Amino acid sequence: MNREVSDMNILDSFCEKFCNVVKKHMDYVVVSGFVAIASGRIRGTEDIDMIIPKISREKFIKLHEELVENGFQCMQSDNPEEIHDLYLKEKTSVRYTYKNRPVPEMEVAFSKDILDGYQIKTKTKLPITGLDIWFSSINMNIAFKEEYLKSGKDLEDARHLRIVFSDMVDEKEIEAIKEMIRKLRL
Amino acid sequence: MNATRDKTHMEFVENWAKKFRESPAECKKIQNEFINALFEKNANFLKRLAAQPGGPEKIIRLYRIKNVKAYEELLGIENP
């Protein structure tokens, strides 16, 4: 990807560094607010949301150890077995940050239903972001923000995505995802 | 938020998105300055807060830090 490091802000470099470790171990997908921010939405956020497949404790320990080697710390615990068993396995997300810096943070959660699985399956790269990372699809993000999250900020994010990616917006797919959300989450 | 603010803010969002679609590199520079400034502001504030009496405890509560060991330098904890 043709890009200068100076083209990246603090959130971009944090996210790409984190994803570069995770991708060596498993699939992942970055979802929600950061998709809009990486796509030019001018607002702040403290956290980036990531979904990973449900993995074994052993596999998670290897991931955690490499994250720590790369300067990341988990805010909940430094014990990977505890992070896996007491948080992720129990459907509670955990937050990773750089050591001694509480923000930005990567909020990591296991995939919890077929909707999350679909997000991972339909992951996409978005060249306009300048980032070489996997995002959940534009249609998925619009559907979640309009049907599930619905705050003022989320509706503005959806509007931003609809304009920036107007050529990728597929109303039929958005409606199908909204239907899945209504069945599984509401 | 009142309705007027909602309407005008959504107009800003739409205009910015159109501008980003037309000139992403130019807009990215503006966005980077904005985002970096937020984090610099936060880092400077946390340094000042950590130096206040009770400040480290406030930071722990603010971010719900359980793994305190990983943030000792930020919290000003010496020789634990």
Facing A163 at nearest CB: one of B1, B14, B24: B14
In chain B, which residues have pLDDT < 50?
1, 80
Question: Which residues in B lie closer than 8 A to residue A33 (C-beta atoms)?
Answer: none
Report the pLDDT value the prediction gives residue A7, as an integer from 0 to 100: 82
Cβ <8 Å between A40 and B30:
no
Q: How many CB atoms lie within 10 A of CB A126?
A: 19
pLDDT in 10s for each residue of chain A, 186 residues:
545 445 899 999 999 999 999 999 999 999 999 999 999 999 999 999 999 999 999 999 999 999 999 999 999 999 999 999 999 999 999 999 999 999 999 999 999 999 999 999 999 999 999 999 999 999 999 999 999 999 999 999 999 999 999 999 999 999 999 999 999 988
What is the ipTM for the molecules in this complex? 0.85
- What's the whole-model pTM score? 0.92
Report the pLDDT value the prediction gives residue A61, as an integer from 0 to 100: 98
Q: What distance in Å separates residue B54's CA from the closest CA in chain A?
A: 17
| Greatest Cα-to-Cα distance within chain A, rounded to the nearest angstrom | 45
Q: How far apart are CA B73 and CA B10, in angstroms?
A: 41
Question: Which residue of chain A comes nearest to B33, CA vs CA?
Answer: A9
Q: How far apart are CA B14 and CA A49, in angstroms?
A: 24
- A interface mutation test: which of B2, B23, B30, B35 has the most A CBs within 10 A? B35
Cβ <8 Å between A10 and B13:
no
Cβ <8 Å between A152 and B6:
yes
Report the pLDDT value the prediction gives residue B6, as an integer from 0 to 100: 73
Do residues A89 and B52 lie in contact, with contact meaning Cβ atoms separated by under 8 Å? no
Do residues A39 and A160 lie in contact, with contact meaning Cβ atoms separated by under 8 Å? yes
